[in-house]
Structure 1
Amino acid sequence: AATKQVRSERTLMRLLDAAEELLQERGLSGLSIPEIVRRADSSVGGFYGRFRDKNELLRALEERQFRELEGLVDRLVDSRRWSGAPAAAIVAAATTELVGAVRERKEILGAFLWRATQDVDVREEGLAFRQGATVRLRELLLSECPGEFSHPDPELAIDLAVQTAFAFMQQHIVVGETRSGDRILSDEELAHELTHMVCAYVGIKALPEMAKDRRSGKQELGGTQ
């Protein structure tokens, strides 16, 4: 019985892995049960033995993605990682993690965003994740870096700044890129500018290397005199 359960679990993981690969390659419109089954080296009967339909598969995939993202947040807000670190360093790490998570999961997250407009359960789960991540990052910043914020209401400012960063990256997912004029921003530039945005609004002193990078960027865009 135990061996059968292990085989069943492995088949389930292969089906989810195959669905995730297809979403990344083709998006939601290219996700088909026959192709999922083929890639998973399974069978149609094996698929329907675990899922009623494609929507139920997507819910299982969404739950797995949220667990992975929760793990990312767990590692980010571990206070042992930040003992004595300035607030700007925490913000920079958070924006880098956010941009990296989107880069690795852009098509999958795009599919989830679309499904959130159609399915209240998906929408509520996404909102709960965002709210939880916001609260945990706010608590980390306020506990590790008290007194570093010039905004008159740091708690409110951090909440709104994190929500703004999430909204910014949601637009990035939907549009597929972020531009400044005719220039497409790289992931590194996105993370860098999001860090500046959050720090400026919350009133956190930027790290010296951040200010240096910004001056260099302006010279490159404007040309040297």
Structure 2
Amino acid sequence: MSYTLPSLPYAYDALEPHFDKQTMEIHHSKHHQAYVTNANTVLEAYPELAQYSVEELIKNLDKVPADKRTFMRNNAGGHANHSLFWQGLKIGTTLTGDLKAAIEHDFSSVEKFQEAFEKAAATRFGSGWAWLVLKDGKLAVVSTANQDNPLMGEPVAGVSGYPIIGLDVWEHAYYLKYQNKRPDYIKAFWKVVNWDKASERYAANK
């Protein structure tokens, strides 16, 4: 088994004007595809790794030969992160129900959660991600460098938890439209979060 680039559940222009068509197409068909292609070179050389889903593999990077571990941390991590990212985007959903109640409980308000998330995304130096995660029954905001994922755990990624939503803050995710204005891109994210998918992930793991 090898990894494949997942099809998007929407057209490249479906998130306009918040996320532009050109960026979405390049981001998906070029950047994400490169992570898939690179990771598959290791799966071909070590077919025993192909029994694991990409999420299982990044949770257990010690199963990867030492000389390929950083390579797979970056490339399998990139595949896992982007696969979640695409699923988590959609225009027109609303934060409701148990996830909204949990956010209000753990952050005191939706607005305070958004402030914490925006800060994590804006202050991640260089390339990385901002996340809303579920850990030990509580929601938290964390960020990771490069293509690290909270599923990798604290010894690897510096944080841990089950990702509910993730925002890519690599420049390739926003530079064509927003240039150096990362905060504007972060604000636009709230217009395209698929809260229905986030609620599903929360319900399945709370």
Structure showing the higher strand proportion among its residues: 2
TM-score (norm: length of structure 1): 0.26
Larger Rg: 1
